Structure 1
Amino acid sequence: MQKSLAVHRVDPLIVEAWVMGWALSRRTPAPTALPIGFRVDVGLPQQKVRYVLPEFQPEVVADLASRIHTPWTFIKVCTEPRAIAKILPQTWTVQAPVFLMTAALAGNECSRGEPVLSKEYAVRVFDEGPIIRVQVEDAAGDIAASGQCALDGESCIFDQIITHESHRRRGLGSAVMTLLSDEAVARGKTQGILVATTDGLALYSAIGWTVHSPVTSAVIIPAGESAAGQ
């Protein structure tokens, strides 16, 4: 993994597309461009604001963190946790890294036509303009897997790809990715972007995605509370 990360230089345009697509997918206000990156006013109880910085500049990150005191504010930087942990005030908690990944959609492993699923599953695709949603339902009509993507420029930003625990290891996650990719390609999108957890790396790597950069979050968590993955 370290060898893979070393050959990639963080492209600010990829980060910008991810931020714009994430905000579109989550239906938040449009991100605000800053000299150092982006601010997204998310407005959720455990994620009020998120700052996203494409470049890790220690003095910039330290200065930004020193001026923020509002709980549930996140700073996300394209770097590894050890770099962030050294410079933040003690009020900040550094989370495990996630991974910004990219793929060329046309001809990719994740874009190979209709996926083959067991007869117990049915697929529903929802076209919501700039957002495409996919649901895989079991025989009882319950959602077994789901995901969505936001279309922005030439990019497709994949988000909230979920397979429920009792339906895992049946190819549903790959099926959701294939369906979303094919819909994006049909709309002229050429580049896929997503952020994967450590658990998701194997799935996405197996279908042709590559790591562009680690992304590390730091957050102010009120005393006595804990944060889920953001």
Structure 2
Amino acid sequence: MTETITSSEVGSTDGPGGPGRAGLKRAWVEGWVVSRAAAPPVEEPWGFTVDVGLVQQVRRYVLPDADEALVRHFMRTVTAPGTWIKCFLEPETVEPWLAPGWELDSPGFLMATRLAPVPEPRCPDGYRLRTWTRGGLTRALVTTAGHAFAARGQIAVPAPGAAAVIDQIETSPDHRRHGLGSLVVRTLCNAAAAAGCPAAVLGATVEGRALYEHLGWTAYGPLTGAVLTPPAGPSV
């Protein structure tokens, strides 16, 4: 049976999108900036501004309750290449609103789960699992016996008692179907539960959603990104 994450588990009030959904969006933003070492989010009347500071992602605007007028406004007024917009609408809804120079990112989903300590998962034979924590961020790395990369991921704890945010789960194509993704996710969730986090949130890809649903996570809706790319240079 699907269980709804409540506002008390994400440390925020409910919004019009459903029980706990407004809190999940905020929790995802606050944990994502810890995970990516971005600037603290600046709360705006329409959502959040986050300075990321990367060439491909200088800044992002998160629009929790976006509509056509708001998205078109940003796409009309933002001029800096590498600026992202994140909203919680279906990509097919946003696509007709794209202004010249803007491109949609791959489809995503906002997902969450309750956290409780579970028995430590077993690392498959032939692999090694290492974890470490620094500055509110726990990383998990799986390598082969010869130290080749196999899988990784990280989980951010933005504050004591806050929802954790899982991020950057990746399994090498050469090492898929060995349960390494599940190993990483379960290991990270245990670390967050031990730190007192009542719930975890993440932004999943289409492929990742299947893994998380298999592990008991719930999808709460779409998570769509759009980026302003630099214009193509002249042909030489």
- The reply to whether TM is greater than 0.5 is yes
- Give the whole-Å Cα distance in 1 for the aligned partners of 2:213 and 2:197: 20
CA distance in 2, matches of 1:55, 1:10: 14
Residue 59 (str. 1) matches residue 69 (str. 2): yes
Cα displacement (A) at 1:224: 3.1
Q: Secondary structure at the match of 1:188?
A: coil
Q: Which residue of 2 aligns with 1:188?
A: 196
Equivalent residue number for residue 218 of structure 1 = 226
Unaligned runs of 5+ in 2: 1-16
* Letter matched to residue 180 of structure 1: L
SS at 1:216 equivalent = strand
Structure 2 counterpart of 1:76: 86
1:177-228 alpha-carbon deviations (Å, 9 max, x no partner)? 1111111111111111011101111111000011111011111112338xxx
Counterpart for residue 46 of structure 1: 56
| Alignment: residue pair count | 215
Stretch of structure 1 that moved more, 22-31 or 114-123: 114-123
Q: Percent identity?
A: 39
- Choose which of 126, 146, 163 in structure 1 pairs with 2:132: 126
Show CA shifts across 1:109-147 (max 9, x none): xx5321122221111110214111111121102221111
TM-score (norm 2): 0.86
Encode CA deviations 1:59-90: one digit per residue, 9 max, x unaligned: 12211221111111111110011221222322
Query: What's the RMSD between the two structures over aligned residues?
Result: 1.8
- Tell me the secondary structure at the aligned position of residue 157 of structure 2: strand
In 1: Cα distance, 2:129 partner to 2:91 partner:
38
- Could you tell me how far 1:9 is from its partner in structure 2? 6.8
Could you tell which deviates more after superposition, 174-183 or 215-224? 215-224
Displacement of 1:8 in angstroms is: 5.8
3-state DSSP class of the match of 2:34? helix
| More moved, 199-208 vs 119-128 | 119-128
Amino acid at match of 1:184: A
- Structure 1: any 5+ residue segments left out of the alignment? 1-6, 226-230
Is the contact between residue 65 and residue 88 of structure 2 (CA under 8 Å) also seen in structure 1?
A: yes
Q: Say yes or no: does 1:161 pair with 2:169.
A: yes
Q: 2:151 maps to what in 1?
A: 145
Contact 1:154-1:190 within 8 A present in 2 as well: yes
Of residues 192, 196, 209, the one that matches 1:201 is: 209
TM-score (norm 1): 0.88
The one of 113, 118, 121 aligned to 2:119? 113
- Whole-angstrom distance in 1 between the partners of 2:229 and 2:162: 36
Runs of 4+ in 1 over 4 A off after TM superposition: 7-10
Letter in 2 for 1:36: W
SS at match of 2:111: strand
Match 1:90 to one of 87, 93, 100:
100
